[in-house]
Amino acid sequence: MRITAKQVLTAQAVVVGGLALVVLVREMPGIVREIRIWRMVGLGTGSRPPR
């Protein structure tokens, strides 16, 4: 059985995508916390009143 270059690239893309998804899921509580802090400080896009 031969493995083609396309199959190798597909497998690599699946592994990298899976790892990225795992990191995103693990870091989600910290990301949500940071967004809340940014909104309290006034760095969020929707927190400023229109001029």
Instruction: State residue 51's pLDDT score.
Output: 60
Instruction: State residue 27's pLDDT score.
Output: 95
d(CA 35, CA 16): 26
d(CA 37, CA 24): 19
* CA atoms 44, 32, 25, 19: torsion sign: positive
Percent of residues in the chain assigned helix, strand, coil, to nearest 5: 75, 0, 25
Tens-digit pLDDT profile for the chain (51 aa)? 898 999 999 999 999 999 999 999 999 999 999 999 999 998 766 555 556
